[in-house]
Amino acid sequence: MTRCLSFEIQELPDIIRVIVLLSLSKGNSVQKTQLKNRIDKVCSNYACIEMSDLDRALNEMAAEGLITFSQESLVQPTEQGVKLGKEWESLLLKKDPVIEVVAGLTDGSVTSLVVILSALVAGLATRTAAFAAFLTLAAVTITNFSSFLLGGITEDLANMITLQNLMNYSLGDIPDKKERDKSLLLVEQLFVVLHREISRSNLQAAIICSATTFLAGIYPILAYLTLPSPLNIILSLFIVAVVVGVFLVRYRSKKTKVHWKITLFETIAIVIIAVAASLLIGRI
């Protein structure tokens, strides 16, 4: 009978389970000796666990339906194991760029709307409107890049420290001193590796956000600047509507598991408020 899944980090096998799931999150098969070497690499090539510790963790994972063994000691993740590995990867390594895509699509759409409506109301010449549009979009894009890079690293590292402290507190209750010391050492070295990965992930997040911002804003602006009136206004607003009403709403609805109609209402309301506030501030 399959035992209930436990996601609490209370024992040495729990830490090993996390490392194994991260290693198998792509659905790849790995030799047991390779897993041992990867764990030793986390410990800076210091053998902080024994093969018996790995066997114990793998047996528990197999009993939970997360992995399967072959006769050649090949470890293969199950569908549930791959799914759980991706969840740990998303939690610890920030591999799922949810906020980056949402922020990029929103900021790019709002920026393009503000630029187009401002140029329309002010009656700016094409040359002046183009200069103002690209300057504004470039400023928002660069701001998003720097904000996500610096803010993301700071926030994620602070969260990592909190998570590590919670794990250390939980592992401190292990009665066996040898296993407790091995557990604490493995957690310490695991978070050293995670800190390096977090910095790399935040650089990728900053690039994704800034690129999404620029792409979401540049197409409606180009449509407005290059096409004759009134086709330019119609097509540019249509592009913004597609980006916000289809891509942004669909992405948010998929990630939050909220009905798309509710997400659509929230998204449109936020965009309208943001555009209105920008235009009002611009007139002051």
Q: Which residues pair with 68 in a beta bridge?
A: 76
Three-state DSSP at 9 gives coil
Distance CA 31, CA 37 (A): 10
Q: What is the pLDDT of residues 202-224, one digit of tens each?
A: 888 899 999 999 999 999 999 99
For 197, phi then psi, to 5°, come to -65, -35
Query: What's the mean per-residue pLDDT of the chain?
Result: 83
Of residues 123 and 2, more confidence is placed in: 123
Q: What is the pLDDT of residues 160-208, one digit of tens each?
A: 888 888 888 888 888 888 888 888 888 888 888 888 788 888 888 899 9
Tell whether pTM > 0.95: no
Output the six-digit token pair for 273.
């408020």
Domains and CATH numbers, the chain: 12-81 (1.10.10.10), 98-283 (no CATH)
Q: 3-state DSSP helix/strand/coil percent for the chain, to nearest 5? A: 80, 5, 20
For residue 2, pLDDT beyond 60:
no
Task: Work out whether strand 30-31 and strand 67-69 pair parallel, antiparallel, or are unpaired.
Answer: unpaired
Of residues 139 and 261, more confidence is placed in: 139
